[in-house]
Amino acid sequence: MIIKNVVCPFCGSLCDDLTVEVEGNEIKNVDNTCKLGYNKIVGYSHGRIEAPLIRDKEGLKEISYDKAIDEAAKILCNARRPLMYGWSSTTCEAIEKGIELAIKIGSLIDQTATVCHGPTTLGIQEEGKPSCTLGEVKNRADLVIYWGCNPFHAHPRHMGRYSTFTKGYFTNKGRKDRKIIVVDVRESDTSKVADIFLKIEPGSDYKIINALTSIIIGNGDILPEEIGGISKDRLEYIAGEMVNANFGIVFFGLGVTMTGVKDKNIGSLSRLVKELNRNTKFSLMPMRGHYNVSGAGNVFTWLTGFPYAIDLSRGYAYYNPGETTANDVLARKEVDAILVVASDPVAHFVNPSIRRLAEIPLIAIEPYTSATTELADLIIPVAISGIEADGTAYRMDEIPIRVKKFIDSKFKSDLEILTDIINRIDRYE
């Protein structure tokens, strides 16, 4: 059976034009996908955890699903300071259920933006985000800036589908109608296709963004001759390109959120784009990594008022990144149990946080053997959302798209497992 218009459940580009060939209940092939999506979809059956597992002194041993739900409910109910973490690779419906569970047990809840675009959230809360959809970029953008990101590796079809090589209504010559600028600390496959490559000094983003803003508002005379490894003349040229564009867009990645002054970089990028909008039309968009990390931020915000790092232990939602963010509460050894859903924090958190994860009861709802399952005390295998379970996901431009289920699974979905845990806790209460 050939299934068309399948949505790829890998990155925030959420490409919705895949063609999947299914025979019986097995995926045989995928077309129109990048290497990342291909490996995830075709490799869906490789290395799966086949049954719920619990750790004792001798290692992991199989238990029934019912017993696993029971153990999960007990761990969460007995914890004084639980944390629920992950959420970016599951559906909005499951995330909504996760918030319900967090409210019920008075948990901290955080999502993967905390080690990704968390500073973006802080920056845009201070300064706003003049933005647009990827459709507008495709049809209108004649100046595309990729700042601190490498879409060739992290979002391989982004340039082809939305920004660079594609033809749009006002950009019907495709690549010839667009100027591409890449800003990074090292050459990359993305910088090789750029018209202009600004190789900046590490950590100098804030200085360079503010220098461009100064030039654009007419205060360029106060700048030194070189900023962050780039000459003032070259920055004046870039500022001219920005002002003279018909429709410009800055896509930015973790090269901006993770370096130097982090959230302040994003605030200054937003101010730059706002100033550009006095002259022309310009937009700003984060390159979101996991396919539904944007959805996690949206669902968290509908239900609690805040997009990540939320403490629900007080009976109301309390949000203070730097205090309630996952790495902080772990490194301070506050957290005494953790539920991980659709994520691998042992692979992607920093050393002091992982040391705490090794000390406390860790429940992982996870389809594959991962770094987190190596430390987990209880593992509940799950259907893979976007392949074996359907639901809603948000693209990086915050457009909701329905991800499909195209094969059956013997495992329950994240949504069903979280529902079962809530029902079990209700029975105890």
Partner 1 sequence: MKKKRVKLITGRTIEQGMFIEHKTSKEYFDATATCFMNERLIKELDIEDYVKVNTDIASIVLRAEREKGIPKDLIFIPMGPWANFILNIDIGLSGMPSFKGVDATIEPTDDRPLELKDLIGLYKG
Output the six-digit token pair for 340. 């991980």
Report the chain's C-alpha Rg in angstroms: 23
Which ranges of 106-155 does DSSP label H, i.e. alpha helix? 118-127, 134-140, 151-154
Q: What is the smallest separation between the CB atom of 396 and partner 1, expressed in angstroms?
A: 15
Name which of 116 and 245 has its Cβ closer to partner 1.
116
Name which of 52 and 118 has its Cβ closer to partner 1.
118
Name which of 100 and 187 has its Cβ closer to partner 1.
187
Q: What is the smallest separation between the CB atom of 78 and partner 1, expressed in angstroms?
A: 22
Q: What is the smallest separation between the CB atom of 356 and partner 1, expressed in angstroms?
A: 9
Name which of 105 and 254 has its Cβ closer to partner 1.
254
Q: What is the smallest separation between the CB atom of 277 and partner 1, expressed in angstroms?
A: 26
Beta bridge partners of 340: 85, 364
Q: What is the smallest separation between the CB atom of 133 and partner 1, expressed in angstroms?
A: 24
The answer to whether the beta carbons of residues 405 and 393 sit under 8 Å apart is no
Strand 362-365 to strand 337-341: parallel, antiparallel, or no bridges (unpaired)? Answer: parallel
Alpha-carbon gap, residue 389 to 383, rounded angstroms: 6
Name which of 192 and 278 has its Cβ closer to partner 1.
192
Q: Which of 163, 164, 154, 160 is nearest to 17 (CA)?
A: 160
Q: What is the smallest separation between the CB atom of 207 and partner 1, expressed in angstroms?
A: 13
CA 87 to the chain's CA centroid:
10
Alpha-carbon gap, residue 41 to 393, rounded angstroms: 17
CA angle 204, 209, 211 (to 5 degrees): 95
- Classify each residue of 98-127 as buried b or exposed e, where b means 16 or more C-beta atoms within 10 Å of its C-beta: bbebbbbbebbbbbbbbbbbbbbbbbbbeb
Q: Which of 263, 331, 319 is nearest to 116 (CA)?
A: 263
Name which of 277 and 369 has its Cβ closer to partner 1.
369
Strand 143-147 to strand 247-252: parallel, antiparallel, or no bridges (unpaired)? Answer: parallel
Q: What is the smallest separation between the CB atom of 357 and partner 1, expressed in angstroms?
A: 7
Output the six-digit token pair for 43. 């490799």
Return the axis-axis angle of helices 92-105 and 293-304, rounded to nearest 10°: 40
Q: What is the smallest separation between the CB atom of 222 and partner 1, expressed in angstroms?
A: 26
Name which of 245 and 312 has its Cβ closer to partner 1.
312
Name which of 185 and 245 has its Cβ closer to partner 1.
185
* Interacting residues toward partner 1 by CB under 8 A: 10-11, 35-36, 39-40, 43, 46-47, 114-115, 118-119, 122, 150, 152-154, 156, 185-188, 191, 199, 202-203, 254-255, 257-263, 289, 309, 321-328, 331, 344, 346-355, 357-358, 367-371, 374-375
